[in-house]
Amino acid sequence: MSGRGPARLVLGLALLLAACGTDDGTGVRQVDGTGTGSASGSGAASGSGAASGSGTASQAVVVPCEPVGDAASADTTFEVELLDRDILLGSAEVEAGTVTLEVSNNGTEPHQLVVVRADDPAELPLTADGRVAVRKLPKGALVGEVEPWSPNLACTGTFALKPGRYALFCNLLEVEADGTRDSHYANGMRAAFGVHR
């Protein structure tokens, strides 16, 4: 491994954290995969052990979970599993109230979880690159989000959910080394569930 590996790791972590930031769900989420060691479909920062653009197994960049809300205040919990091209739900419905989503990132790369009130996750407004255009959602539709975190980790998001239909999705956009853009939402990371009284 060349001496540039650690520098690439630091640059990659900085790019990943800059992409995540403190965004409230209305901005662009982009994961740079230009070979700088940042999170990408090539395995860097994906829990595969790659920490440099060369794909060597030196150090993995781990982005920890930042739980949202107070899970101790939840009336109920709801299991969610994130895969690289799918979101699996423990149930199709949950009871209204304060709900903790117990989310496992079982994919191979960082993912996030956005919660919106919507009838059909496949009918959300999109940007040209295949992400959900969060700013074009109806007023009040955005419930919240759990910021991106590394694979093989669990996270929680606790939200007040009224009766209705909801969509869950990952809105990350990967930019590969060759410039290819890869939208997690467009690749199938979306699911619907109902909230009843």
Per-residue model confidence (pLDDT) at position 27: 43
Rounded Cα gap, residues 63 and 48, in angstroms: 13
Q: Which domain holds residue 95?
A: 4-196
Q: What is the domain count for the chain?
A: 1
Mean pLDDT value of segment 21-50: 34
Lowest mean per-residue pLDDT among 19-23, 50-54, 152-156, 167-171: 50-54
pLDDT tens, position by position, 151-197:
999 999 999 999 999 999 999 999 989 999 999 999 999 999 999 99
Classify each residue of 31-59 as buried b or exposed e, where b means 16 or more C-beta atoms within 10 Å of its C-beta. bbbbbbbbbbbbbbbbbeebbbbeeeeee
Domain of 139, CATH number, reads 2.60.40.420
Question: Does the structure show a pLDDT above 70 at 31?
Answer: no
Per-residue model confidence (pLDDT) at position 12: 39
Indicate the average pLDDT of the chain: 78
Name the pTM for this structure: 0.73
Question: How would you classify residue 180: left for phi > 0, otherwise alpha for psi between -120 and 50, otherwise beta?
Answer: beta
Q: Output the furthest CA–CA distance in the chain (Å, rounded).
A: 59
Strand partners, 89: 80
Question: Does the structure show a pLDDT above 60 at 135?
Answer: yes
pLDDT tens, position by position, 95-133:
999 999 999 999 999 999 999 999 999 999 999 999 999
Question: Does the structure show a pLDDT above 80 at 78?
Answer: yes
Determine what percent of the chain is predicted with pLDDT higher than 90: 69
Per-residue model confidence (pLDDT) at position 61: 85
